[in-house]
Amino acid sequence: MVLNKRVTAAIFAGLLSVTSQALMAAESVNFVSWGGSTQDAQKQAWADPFSKATGITVVQDGPTDYGKLKAMVESGNVQWDVVDVEADFALRAASEGLLEPLDFKVIDRTKIDPRFVSDHGVGSFFFSFVLGYNEGKLGAAKPQDWSALFDTKTYPGKRALYKWPSPGVLELALLADGVPADKLYPLDLDRAFKKLDTIKKDIVWWGGGAQSQQLLASGEASMGQFWNGRIHALQEDGAPVGVSWKQNLVMADILVIPKGSKNKDAAMKFLANASSAKGQADFSNLTAYAPVNVDSVARLDSVLAPNLPTAYVKDQITLDFAYWAKNGPAIATRWNEWLVK
């Protein structure tokens, strides 16, 4: 009788163990990002090690779609758990009640650069818009700052600029027109568009990183505005491109949890891992984008470090994400009207 009880207890304990393991294996996080090499690096640096350490499956999805995120939350049928978004959208979405507040008992906020963390979002990475140029097209001429974009006599050729109405293009136009960095905001839209009018016929617009690289490497554009990681990749491939970090414009991606996430607790753990010193450094070493964790800098590859925004802090201008969160939709309307004039 005692033996049977012991056997029964052992069987019951085994069943509990199997059930517990099954539940752990069933736990998952749906991670949404922009696709391409960036999401590949996020998978390698964050998702795979996180799953190995916790047993939580990370399901990759994408691309990020703001309209879809909002529709999910408003319908109450949220399929996404962690989403990589632009900094201004993160602030706007929080103000509209679309995001979960973060648990900073799980996520170590004290190690995150204050520019890239809020109550509802923690930095994914940050990057700079830099002035890139094709050395074969410009010869000995080496542009130094954004004013060179508007000097088509000294620096002939087409200009590659980011097409979307988001932080970057209007700011660089104002800087080139002589507005001091600390006087950029609120943006003088009339002045910015007037400055852009002077080169509008010379602009070739790009909407994605691969397109921007092709424009510059091929020489279709002699210079332009680029994500720093894309310039670094071209240089690594031996393309004849140069870069100026003067007035580099800092932008960031932010990781957020949609309101009503079905796996909120697991999502918090994922954010803690992604924003950790190791997670951030591993991602930076794969992409040449900068880490948001202040303890990551010491972990950066010594060869790569000089090609990151963290090496050019004195020349940096951090774009005003809060200004864009509030004014972005109105600016987008004017931007789209200007494009078709």
| CATH, residue 105 | 3.40.190.10
CA 276 → CA 32, 71, 111, 255, distances in Å?
19, 31, 8, 13
The Cα 135–Cα 115 span in angstroms is 34
Do 246 and 99 fall into the same domain? no
Residue 141 confidence (pLDDT): 87
The Cα 339–Cα 35 span in angstroms is 27
Cis check for the bond before 114: say yes or no (omega within 30 of 0): no
Residue 8 confidence (pLDDT): 46
- Chain CA centroid to CA 178, Å: 28
Do 28 and 46 fall into the same domain? yes
Question: Smallest Cα–Cα separation from 166: which of 246, 242, 61, 90?
Answer: 90
One-letter amino acid of 268: M
Question: Smallest Cα–Cα separation from 256: which of 27, 52, 91?
Answer: 91
Q: Enter the pTM of the model.
A: 0.86
One-letter amino acid of 228: N
Cβ-based burial of 57 (10 A; exposed 0-12, middle 13-18, buried ≥19): middle
Residue 108 confidence (pLDDT): 97
The Cα 329–Cα 109 span in angstroms is 30
Do 114 and 162 fall into the same domain? no
Do 49 and 169 fall into the same domain? no
The Cα 269–Cα 120 span in angstroms is 15
One-letter amino acid of 121: G
The answer for residues whose C-beta is within 8 angstroms of residue 93's C-beta and 6 or more apart is 66, 69, 70, 85, 99, 120, 256
CA 246 → CA 140, 226, 250, distances in Å?
18, 13, 12
- Structural domain boundaries enclosing 99: 2-126+253-311
The Cα 106–Cα 257 span in angstroms is 14
The Cα 261–Cα 258 span in angstroms is 6
Q: Which long-range contacts (CB under 8 A, 24 or more apart) does 193-201 make?
A: 193/334, 193/338, 195/150, 196/169, 196/170, 196/338, 198/150, 199/149, 199/150, 199/152, 199/159
Do 135 and 178 fall into the same domain? yes
The Cα 94–Cα 25 span in angstroms is 31
Do 148 and 258 fall into the same domain? no
Triad 45, 22, 274: Cα angle to 5°: 20
Do 82 and 112 fall into the same domain? yes
Do 132 and 263 fall into the same domain? no
**Concatenated DSSP letters of 43-76:** IIIIIHHHHHHH--EEEEE----HHHHHHHHHHT
Number of H helices, E strands in the chain: 13, 10
Q: What does each of the 341 residues of the chain score in pLDDT, given as a tens digit?
A: 444 544 444 444 454 444 444 444 469 999 999 988 889 999 999 999 999 999 999 999 999 999 999 999 999 999 999 999 999 999 999 999 999 999 999 999 999 999 999 999 999 999 999 999 999 999 888 999 999 999 999 999 999 999 988 899 999 999 999 999 999 999 999 999 999 999 999 999 998 888 999 999 999 999 999 999 889 989 999 999 999 999 999 999 999 999 999 999 999 999 999 999 999 999 999 999 999 999 999 999 999 999 999 999 999 999 999 999 999 999 999 999 999 98
Residue 26 confidence (pLDDT): 65
The alpha-carbon radius of gyration of the chain (Å, integer) is: 23
The Cα 314–Cα 311 span in angstroms is 9
Residue 208 confidence (pLDDT): 85
Do 19 and 111 fall into the same domain? yes
Do 259 and 242 fall into the same domain? no
Do 264 and 326 fall into the same domain? no
| Number of domains comprising the chain | 2
Do 12 and 39 fall into the same domain? yes
